[in-house]
Amino acid sequence: MNRGKRYNDAARRYDRQRLHDATEGLDVVKGLPAARFDESVEAAICLGVDPRRADQMLRGTVSLPSGTGKEVRVAVFAGGEAAIAARDAGADHVGDSDLVEAISGGMMDFDVAIATPDMMPVVGRLGRLLGPRGLMPNPKSGTVTTDVAKAVADFKGGRVGYRTDRHGNVHVPIGKMSFSTEALMENLRSVMDELNRVRPAAAKGRYIQKVTLSSSMGPPVKIDPASV
């Protein structure tokens, strides 16, 4: 794959094969040539799971104590008092069948979709639109709930979703390049603690196999999992 000049320059500035201590690795990421915007910092964790088995597929959410550094736009499918509570909590879009129609018509101006359980039969019509984007409300990710106000507050306050891909990897944003190393480290520890908490009983052998950190536009830095 052809990479840009800045990426290639960054990749020459450190030993890409070395396992870095987590704090040191974050310093490396933050010290690489920066883009013209505040890039996200992402952790990629390779897990010793078999993603073909349903009991080893992971999906959930984790709260980042230092936040995400990103304004999160939330859409809520709800009616009645739940809709009022969602608006009061700061949801960007709230509705029932009218919101379904708006999204069917192309409105995708949101990052998280939340629904009350009674709305799921209606929301199900949007499966082909929301599913491929990872936006379909799901109880495992805390986005199908009766307490929509709390869910809105959680996602706007730094809760992010995670799930294993078909190769057993989990990709989670842990903040922005403008964050301090300490803030990014705090978020990274929360992600690792959560993944260890939900380790499938059927997973055998070494569970956390590889960890890399990178900025949105930068090369990956290998991290020693034991240092997190």
pLDDT band with cut points at 50, 70 and 90 for residue 10: confident
Tell me the domains of the chain and their CATH numbers: 15-68+159-227 (3.30.190.20), 74-157 (3.40.50.790)
Torsion 79-72-136-163 (CA) sign: negative
pLDDT band with cut points at 50, 70 and 90 for residue 2: low
Element (DSSP H or E) covering residue 188: helix 181-197
Q: Has residue 1 got a pLDDT over 80?
A: no
Compute φ and ψ for 159, nearest 5 degrees: -85, 130
How confident is the prediction for the chain on average, in pLDDT?
94
Answer whether 160's CB lies under 8 Å from 173's CB.
Answer: yes
Q: What is the pTM of this model?
A: 0.82
pLDDT band with cut points at 50, 70 and 90 for residue 162: very high
Mean pLDDT of 5-14: 83
Q: In sequence order, what DSSP letters do the residues of 63-125 get, joined into one string?
A: E-TT--SSPPPEEEE--HHHHHHHHHTT-SEEESHHHHHHHHTT----SEEEE-GGGHHHHGG
Which tens digits make up the pLDDT trace of 103-152? 999 999 999 999 999 999 999 999 999 999 989 999 988 999 999 999 99
